Structure 1
């Protein structure tokens, strides 16, 4: 469900707006957590766990789509970094909180904590965002707003006369909810430029999951740690991930402006630049090589460090650099994919979530068998070799990407004319 649900909700958010889909996914997530906290049946736990994954996984894809909606190419890197920092930080922070709750309040408390946290997020986010300056379409109105609208209509008050309603808003959306086109999102994988980038990035996520998945059992067995101490071992990865996204977000914006200045273009931060005539592939991919080298070195050395049985500081340092390199790489590539597909950012994010979740599932399923057969050292050297063999994708997209991008624009234009 973690791989499939974003395909449905991501495309739906492109058609009816982000806010209604956010409300759907949060409702599913809260309901599933309440059920998990009260459940004793194993089959029900599996079903509710799938529902929980359905509600949570879609929000990540929609979050990246929102950044694509609100930002221009010149500033997109910094904002995408903030979103990816939270995405990378959460899986590393979860074992710490989960370990504390399960050790002192038992496992049911983790689901109660998630319900409380989600409720607080909804309240605080609503206070921060407010009503906005553009009137929402009818489908996105809250119950209170809809009731006030009916009262004004009943009292012969023309809602169009208010200054707020005179603001130019989006086109009216259809009253019937359209059926999401999941296949349209899947087809993005077959685009000549976007597809290889997704698969390349998913290979790194696969290797990262292969590093983290056995970590709990390794440190528990080697250092005799309890749940809380095991959870604390994930903090270096979280810190590295946050720093990697924030640093690369700044570097992305800096290098974009540098490339724009080199070709004599002044970035337009209000209307956005015409990416069709801009070397966006070079602006994004020229800075990826340090992150690529860092994460490859971390993956290749991980097995040797674990197998050597060194002091705990050694694997934690490797985790920090792995988090830094992976988060920076994902920030760069995901920002580029939104640049390449600005017409449907929700589909792009959900399609990447499909490839990422699929590769990660394969990784967690086979990594323990690989370790038993080859040992820690050669298992992770082989994973680093697989990712290294796929690295020419970066050069290919950088050099031939503009041609493929122009072909896609022409294809879209011909469809619109038909």
Structure 2
């Protein structure tokens, strides 16, 4: 009788655990003397069973080497995101040199790179969960270098658009993989600061890209945008070959012999594993409420960012009658907003998470990353309105630049917060979650700027940006809902579901 009762109790607990979020189960284990750290439990939930002192566990590597890898992947993201920032001030020069008068097609030569970012992560992000991070990084860097070379050699606008799309597709891989590498290297309590430093690569590209692009337009030709990126890509490839070690936990365990090769245990073998991996980002987008909500947020804020990028140079040249070289400095407002957001997020996010954990009796949830997003969305709205109406009224050039900086502060905070939240929520499958987010980011970055020229032509900068700010205001409710219901939403579709 006692054995039967114990069996029934075990069955009830197993059924309850299957419907209970991971971090809540950690607390249950701790109460019954089976405590694990948040990082350990997250790893175990996704098949990353390491001994606590295992030297091959990337989270136990020497700190100087972990931070070296963070700087490396940050540099790689810097060089793959910088082409758009450098090319934006030269858009008019490229349009004239390639003999096209179609403003929409010329704008597309900028935004098509972002559209390529939507395709690449869907392929390369999941592949890192099968073959590991390092080989995919190296392959994509080689292809990115070749496609960027093609951009510099383009003889017409159609050729430039095609190579820009391919360069974006391969350049997107580091954007989707880099955050997952940070998740591999650091436990939950350290990821906020690590993510802010990793994202510094993208932020620095926004700081130096437009001014460098403006100087290229003033003293060289626009093709030098791509020659410079090719040189940096070659340097990054060399560093990637000699410095980057594999960080994906399951791949390392296979290499150490604790697990078989990819697909060895799967019913359909390697083909089945690859099929499941490639479908995983779309599956997460469709079935996971938190991924879907996060993707909507990123779609809107990055779309707004790329409206600024595509319209700012052209608009300030028309309104303030400056050269393409001078217009590059107009991006410094956005760039300073990016820097401020990165510094503030790095200094505060882990502390906010620790404070909320203490307030909830030691209970840690990924949703504790989201107060930053809740605060940042109204900042995006204010900055967009500020920028649009001061341009409409022809205020001094510095006033709309400050407004763009306020918007940049909010946009970057949202991106950092949502990205870190996805890594905390999905652990070993974080590359697939980030692939879905990167796809949303890329589609928004490609589509919304195409609406910019007709929107501003019909309504002007004031009302045109008001419509965009209204879109951001509507989305402000999403992080609040994610904070309140995120734990339940994650339980509906978790890492365990992806493994089964």
Q: TM-score w.r.t. structure 2 length?
A: 0.69
Kindly tell me: are residues 42 and 402 of structure 1, through their superposed partners in 2, closer, same or farther at Cα, counting changes over 3 Å? closer
For 2:231, the equivalent position in structure 1 comes to 116
For 2:313, the equivalent position in structure 1 comes to 216
* Aligned residues of 1:300 and 1:380 also touching (Cα < 8 A): yes
For 1:329, the equivalent position in structure 2 comes to 414
Structure 2 CA distance for aligned equivalents of residues 351 and 131 of structure 1: 22
For 2:79, the equivalent position in structure 1 comes to none
Structure 2 CA distance for aligned equivalents of residues 291 and 230 of structure 1: 27
> 3-state DSSP class of the match of 2:188?
coil
Please tell me whether residue 174 in structure 1 is matched to residue 259 in structure 2: no
* Aligned residues of 2:281 and 2:436 also touching (Cα < 8 A): yes
484, 488, 491: which one aligns with 1:406: 491
Query: Unaligned 5+ residue runs, structure 1?
Result: 141-167, 266-276
Query: Unaligned 5+ residue runs, structure 2?
Result: 1-115, 264-269
Cα offset for 1:308? 0.9
Kindly tell me: are residues 378 and 131 of structure 1, through their superposed partners in 2, closer, same or farther at Cα, counting changes over 3 Å? closer
* Aligned residues of 2:134 and 2:246 also touching (Cα < 8 A): no
> 3-state DSSP class of the match of 1:208?
helix
Structure 2 CA distance for aligned equivalents of residues 285 and 214 of structure 1: 30
Structure 2 CA distance for aligned equivalents of residues 130 and 200 of structure 1: 33
For 1:280, the equivalent position in structure 2 comes to 366
Structure 1 CA distance for aligned equivalents of residues 258 and 177 of structure 2: 19
* Aligned residues of 1:60 and 1:87 also touching (Cα < 8 A): no
Q: Which stretch of structure 1 is more off in the superposition, 402-411 or 316-325?
A: 402-411
Cα offset for 1:206? 1.6
Structure 2 CA distance for aligned equivalents of residues 410 and 354 of structure 1: 20
* Aligned residues of 2:429 and 2:495 also touching (Cα < 8 A): no
For 1:19, the equivalent position in structure 2 comes to 134
Q: Note the alpha carbon deviations across 1:204-246, whole angstroms, 9 max, x for none.
A: 2222222332111111112222222111111221122022022
* Aligned residues of 2:120 and 2:171 also touching (Cα < 8 A): no
Structure 1 CA distance for aligned equivalents of residues 431 and 285 of structure 2: 14
Q: Note the alpha carbon deviations across 1:373-402, whole angstroms, 9 max, x for none.
A: 222111111111122122222221111111
184, 200, 204: which one aligns with 1:85: 200
Cα offset for 1:31? 1.0
Structure 1 CA distance for aligned equivalents of residues 296 and 352 of structure 2: 25
* Aligned residues of 2:207 and 2:332 also touching (Cα < 8 A): yes
Kindly tell me: are residues 130 and 196 of structure 1, through their superposed partners in 2, closer, same or farther at Cα, counting changes over 3 Å? closer
* Aligned residues of 1:25 and 1:55 also touching (Cα < 8 A): yes
Kindly tell me: are residues 325 and 138 of structure 1, through their superposed partners in 2, closer, same or farther at Cα, counting changes over 3 Å? closer
Structure 2 CA distance for aligned equivalents of residues 139 and 50 of structure 1: 35
> 3-state DSSP class of the match of 2:274?
coil
Please tell me whether residue 261 in structure 1 is matched to residue 376 in structure 2: no
Cα offset for 1:117? 1.0
326, 341, 356: which one aligns with 2:441: 356
Structure 1 CA distance for aligned equivalents of residues 318 and 290 of structure 2: 44
For 1:100, the equivalent position in structure 2 comes to 215
> 3-state DSSP class of the match of 1:26?
helix
Cα offset for 1:62? 0.9
For 1:184, the equivalent position in structure 2 comes to 280
Q: Note the alpha carbon deviations across 1:38-80, whole angstroms, 9 max, x for none.
A: 3435544333222211221221111111112112211111111
Higher relative contact order (CA 8 A, sep 6+): 1
Q: Which stretch of structure 1 is more off in the superposition, 122-131 or 314-323?
A: 122-131
Cα offset for 1:411? 6.0
Q: Which stretch of structure 1 is more off in the superposition, 182-191 or 307-316?
A: 182-191
Cα offset for 1:351? 0.7
* Aligned residues of 2:199 and 2:416 also touching (Cα < 8 A): yes
For 1:390, the equivalent position in structure 2 comes to 475
Structure 2 CA distance for aligned equivalents of residues 196 and 215 of structure 1: 29
* Aligned residues of 2:246 and 2:252 also touching (Cα < 8 A): no
For 1:159, the equivalent position in structure 2 comes to none
Structure 2 CA distance for aligned equivalents of residues 323 and 65 of structure 1: 24
- RMSD between aligned residues: 2.8
Equivalent pairs, count: 375
Q: Which stretch of structure 1 is more off in the superposition, 91-100 or 292-301?
A: 91-100
Structure 2 CA distance for aligned equivalents of residues 393 and 293 of structure 1: 12
Structure 2 CA distance for aligned equivalents of residues 202 and 71 of structure 1: 27
* Aligned residues of 1:211 and 1:299 also touching (Cα < 8 A): no
302, 305, 323: which one aligns with 1:226: 323
Q: Which structure shows the higher helix fraction?
A: 2
Cα offset for 1:6? 1.1
292, 296, 302: which one aligns with 2:377: 292
Structure 2 CA distance for aligned equivalents of residues 295 and 61 of structure 1: 24
Q: TM-score w.r.t. structure 1 length?
A: 0.82
Kindly tell me: are residues 16 and 373 of structure 1, through their superposed partners in 2, closer, same or farther at Cα, counting changes over 3 Å? same
